Amino acid sequence: MSKGKPFTVALTGGIAAGKSAVEQRFKAHGVHVYDADQASRVVVEPGSDGLAAIVDAFGSEALDSHGRLDRPRMRKRVFADPMARKTLEAIVHPRVRQWMLDQVQADESPYVMLAIPLLAENIGHYHWVDRILVVDVPEAVQLQRLMLRDGMDEDLAVSILASQTSRTARLTLADDIIDNSGPESALEAQVAALHQRYLALAAARR
């Protein structure tokens, strides 16, 4: 990244790995975290060009009675139609990436964090981040937590895990790894140590 932009850490991990718990602990240290899920909502707010593009592609049935994106209906539609999914992603994803970059460029913190669940699947679009932090758990733990958290049966949980990038692929990208296979309390020391490391890296780059 060019001079003047904060040091940027991308946070990722598989489903049910505990990204949110890690994110909250960095926030507790005062770190600004920009979330791709939040961005995906912002860029399709009423009045946005993102929502206008979705209506242009899918028609007014993409909206609910309040003129907002009808997420449940669109989720069903794209789940059943891969081409519709590609169309929707082509509208939303570039806007999400631009929103994330805009937040980073406007931020004056020593370092910022981007929470990106599907980073491995979209790594080519995030070449400008400085470091990648992966929250890691064994797949057996992921499976157990997913079933417990969302109340789903094992077959569905297995299929969801299989649809994501593999654990090995995520770890290959990692500059840093947080092991979240134990109790949440074990995250505190890991996050605190990484926070100090990122502050030092940010200071060294100035």
What's the mean pLDDT in 171-183? 94
Q: What is the pLDDT of residue 10?
A: 98
Tell me, yes or no, whether 125 and 94 share the same domain: no
**Taking a C-beta distance cutoff of 8 angstroms, is the pair 178, 14 a contact?**
no
- What CA–CA distance (Å, rounded) separates 64 from 43? 17
**Which of 108, 130, 149 is the C-terminal boundary of a domain?**
108
Tell me, yes or no, whether 119 and 143 share the same domain: yes
What's the mean pLDDT in 58-72? 95
Range(s) of the domain holding residue 91: 38-108
Tell me the pLDDT of the chain averaged across its residues: 92
Dihedral angle over CA of 139, 143, 149, 153, nearest 10: 170
CA 36 to chain centre: 5
What CATH number is associated with residue 11? 3.40.50.300
Tell me, yes or no, whether 99 and 198 share the same domain: no
- Which band of pLDDT confidence, cut at 50, 70 and 90, is reported for residue 4? low
Candidates 185, 205, 188, 192; CA nearest to 131 is 205
- What CA–CA distance (Å, rounded) separates 93 from 68? 18
Give tens-digit pLDDT for 18-42: 899 999 999 999 999 999 999 999 9
Beta strand pairing call for 111-115 and 32-35: parallel
Q: What is the pLDDT of residue 1?
A: 40
pTM for this prediction: 0.87
Tell me, yes or no, whether 71 and 161 share the same domain: no
Tell me, yes or no, whether 134 and 55 share the same domain: no
